[in-house]
Structure 1
Amino acid sequence: MYHKTFIKLGFTDSYLSPAKYPLFSFNANPEYPLGKITLPVQAGTRSVNVEFLVVKLPSLYNLIMDRTWLHTMQAVPSTYHQLLRFSTECGIEQIRGSQKSTQACYLLATKKPKELEVHSIEVPDRESLEDIIGIPSEKATEALHQIEIDGNLDKFFMIGAFLDKVQRQELVAFLLGNIDVVAWSQYEMPEVDPSVAQHRLNVDPKCKLIIQRSRRSAVGHGSAVIEEVDQLLDIGAICEVTYPTWLSNIVVVKKKNGSWRVCVDSTDLHKACPKDYFSLLRIDKLVDAMAHH
């Protein structure tokens, strides 16, 4: 149960019992609940006492019912039909959800301002990192010591400066002994086996194939595109096609460090990929994580 729902029900923190075990899968870190409370839940003509863990997190939902309640109710849910059926002394009863409300919740959950669409992790009481490609010694929260590889200033490890002599020697020996598995850039990882990682686009076969009109590149962008394409071709990350069914333009964006990032305008391709307007699968993952499935 989310704390906002707990407050709207008229309860205060004095009603909570201690709950010392954490919950996972809400964010990058374990989330410790404020406490727990047992409340009766009325579904149709049946009432079951359910123990809720109260967490203080932002959410579009009021609470999440876990599998324990479903098993107690002997209920059969259908996310596709937004329907819950369960047996009672009077026969089979059912509770219907709202397709419109489900779609609205999904759209609100996925709608973000453009300026917030940044891949970053914020840790409480710690400054967030503005750029992941900054200098490691400036981003670290502790003092670091640089270990160069064969005197090459571009290849080095950063280890904690507070390690004792034995720990430092063991760590350096381990890193140097496994130096062959380290890739210093994406261009040192040629031809990754598809069994390791593979990405596919869920393109609707009914959509029209779109070939974008060619756009002129700004002065200086052409050399950056050619260099990036040549490097990707050398490592086998991309291949040339003669008769493309989809054709998108190249977009060049300047990084904070002054270099260029080469991207692809996939706007039309994204529109051809159907979206799932039901966020219930996300709830199922949260329930499974809390139930240790």
Structure 2
Amino acid sequence: SALETLKIELSQLSKGLKYVFLGSGNTFPVIISSELSVDQERKLINLLQEHKSVLGWTIADIKDISPLICSHRIHLEEGAHPRRDPQRRLNPTIKEVVKKEVLKLLDAGIIYPISHSKWVSPTQVVSKKSRVTLVENENGVPIPTRVVTGWRICIDYRKLNSAT
């Protein structure tokens, strides 16, 4: 199952934090304070291991959030006029990234389709931050470069925010 094989690339942590693993073979990483006593750390790890199944390790684990548990309503200012901004043009590669992400969120029940909305905000796709790597150019000279490791989908809610 996905829970048994979940293994991710870990990033460097800020001072005062450290990784501990709830599964064997460096699986199920969680971040805890590095300033806990040995006894506090042991108790925390035992508690987290005992309740590991209730944590959302992947987006697929967060299926069907009931509106009875969590719902959201945006309160608009009096007289706010709806805005339907056009979608920004996306190249075919980025369009595919957006499509996959939307399908993943639909499948997980985090978003759902609606047929009509008075408010539409544009999507922006940016590359995820990555470390600088030396990549050789055509002359064999190493050039510091940020290699794209993934994409982050953002929604431009500035106009909606100005009406709240």
| TM-score normalised by structure 1 residue count | 0.39
Residue 162 of structure 1 and its aligned partner are, at CA, apart by 7.9
Please list the CA deviations of residues 105-146 of structure 1 after superposition, one character each: whole Å capped at 9, or x if unmatched: xxxxxxxxxxxxxxxxxxxxxxxxxxxx9725x42426x563
Query: Which of 216, 220, 235 in structure 1 is aligned with 2:93?
Result: 220
Residue type at the aligned position of 1:217: L
Please list the CA deviations of residues 154-198 of structure 1 after superposition, one character each: whole Å capped at 9, or x if unmatched: 52245659854x666544332211112212245522233334433
Residue 221 of structure 1 and its aligned partner are, at CA, apart by 1.4
Query: 1:18-33 alignment to 2 at 5 Å?
Result: none
Residue 241 of structure 1 and its aligned partner are, at CA, apart by 1.3
- Report the Cα distance in structure 1 between the residues aligned to 2:121 and 2:104, rounded to whole angstroms: 19
**Structure 1: runs of 5 or more not aligned:** 1-132, 274-293
Distance 1:174 1:270, change over 3 A: closer
2:23 matched to which residue of 1? Answer: 149
Bigger Rg, which one: 1
Please list the CA deviations of residues 264-290 of structure 1 after superposition, one character each: whole Å capped at 9, or x if unmatched: 1223322332xxxxxxxxxxxxxxxxx
Query: Which of 65, 83, 102 in structure 2 is aligned with 1:192?
Result: 65
Q: Does the 8 A contact of 1:252 with 1:260 survive in 2?
A: yes
Query: Which of 100, 117, 125 in structure 2 is aligned with 1:252?
Result: 125
Distance 1:155 1:145, change over 3 A: closer
Please list the CA deviations of residues 73-102 of structure 1 after superposition, one character each: whole Å capped at 9, or x if unmatched: xxxxxxxxxxxxxxxxxxxxxxxxxxxxxx
Residue type at the aligned position of 2:151: W
Query: Which of 265, 271, 277 in structure 1 is aligned with 2:156?
Result: 265
2:11 matched to which residue of 1? Answer: 135
Q: Does the 8 A contact of 1:145 with 1:161 survive in 2?
A: no
The share of aligned pairs that are identical, in percent, is 23
SS in 2 for 1:216: coil
Residue type at the aligned position of 2:11: I
Distance 1:205 1:177, change over 3 A: same
Query: 1:97-246 alignment to 2 at 5 Å?
Result: 135=11, 138-141=13-16, 144=18, 146-151=20-25, 153-157=26-30, 160=34, 164=38, 169-204=42-77, 206-246=79-119
- Report the Cα distance in structure 2 between the residues aligned to 1:260 and 1:192, rounded to whole angstroms: 25
SS in 2 for 1:220: helix
Query: 1:264-283 alignment to 2 at 5 Å?
Result: 264-273=155-164
CA RMSD in angstroms, aligned pairs only:
3.2
Residue 148 of structure 1 and its aligned partner are, at CA, apart by 4.7
Residue 216 of structure 1 and its aligned partner are, at CA, apart by 1.0
| TM-score normalised by structure 2 residue count | 0.64
Residue 218 of structure 1 and its aligned partner are, at CA, apart by 3.2
